[in-house]
Amino acid sequence: MMFQTKLLPATLIKRYKRFLADVELPDGRVVTAHCANPGSMMGLTDAGTRVWIEPNDDPKKTLKFAWRLSEYENATFVCVDTSLANRMVAQALADRAIPELGAYVTVQPEVRYSDNSRIDFLLTDANGALTYVEVKSVTLSRQKELAEFPDSVTARGAKHLDDLAKMVAQGHRAVMLYVVQRTDCTRCTIAKDIDPNYARALDRARGTGVEILCYRAKLCETVQKLDKSIIFS
């Protein structure tokens, strides 16, 4: 899956007000880019980081740039845009590239269910059986090759797990799919010290039969797609 517009290299100056980042372009211009990430972005906001931003000419958008990637040594890329995880999963589902989720005939995104929540993807197989798939973007890494979720307290994330458990109780299949948007990690786990309540919610959900899948993204300044399954523990 290609980025919609060719990305431009820049240098991060600072991230602020949660969804804004000032960056410096190679020609010295300083511009403000949209940062589509509601988390803390722990470890990803150091000034001087090489970043990749996507320009746009949409007259409806106030900001003309969006921060998509950070690049570190050894060609390590991290996608900071959480919405791209869903786009990659959507493409992978269309391509039948997730073997654990292959038996379906329709895919519906953003379907309302359980206490006014929305499931990221609702899959229906040939017999009408339903699979509820929730997607989470993972960007935190505090140990070599180990990704962690979440990077901040997420009551909303815990609610999503409880909602999936309710679907299992009703006889449906439910899947939590973690997308590790880093190219330097081979394993993924839960950051229990950051959000112990989320860790407990995951344990409850798994106990009811909610399935856990974890895939790493393949990333560079031109391509983003779901790559391969990695270990979740």
pLDDT at 1 over 80: no
pLDDT value at residue 61: 87
Q: What is the pLDDT of residue 53?
A: 98
Cα atoms in the Cβ-side hemisphere of radius 13 Å centred on 146: 9
Question: Cβ neighbours of residue 52 under 8 Å, at least 6 residues apart?
Answer: 7, 8, 9, 10, 67, 68, 69, 70, 71, 221
Domain boundaries for CATH 3.40.1350.60 within the chain: 83-232
What are 193-219's pLDDT values in tens digits?
999 999 999 999 999 999 999 999 999
pLDDT value, residue 48: 98
What's residue 2's pLDDT? 78
Cβ contact 164:176 at 8 Å: yes
What average pLDDT does this structure show over 47-54? 98
Annotation: CATH topology of 83-232: Trna Endonuclease; Chain: A, domain 1 (3.40.1350)
- Rounded mean pLDDT, 221-233: 94
Q: What is the percent of the chain with per-residue pLDDT over 90, rounded to a whole number?
A: 91
Give the pLDDT mean for 40-52: 97
pLDDT at 177: 98
What are the beta bridge partners of residue 106?
Answer: 124
Segments of the chain assigned to CATH 2.40.50.580: 8-79
Nearest to 219, CA basis, from 181, 179, 177, 187: 181
Residue 118 burial class via C-beta count within 10 angstroms: exposed 0-12, middle 13-18, buried 19 and up:
middle
Reported as a single tens digit per residue, the pLDDT across 135-193 is 999 999 999 999 999 999 999 999 999 999 999 999 999 999 999 999 999 999 999 99
Burial 131-149 (b: 16+ CB within 10 A, else e): bbbbbbbbbbbeeeebbbb
Q: Taking residues 28-32, report their average pLDDT.
A: 98
Span 88-92, average pLDDT:
97
> Residue 55 has what pLDDT?
96
Q: Confidence band (pLDDT; 50, 70, 90) for 58? A: confident
Q: For the segment 92-114, what is each residue's pLDDT rounded down to a tens digit?
A: 999 999 999 988 999 999 999 98
| Domain 8-79, classified CATH 1.20.1530.20, yes or no | no
Q: How many helices (H) and strands (E) does the chain have?
A: 3, 16
**What does pLDDT average to over the chain?**
96
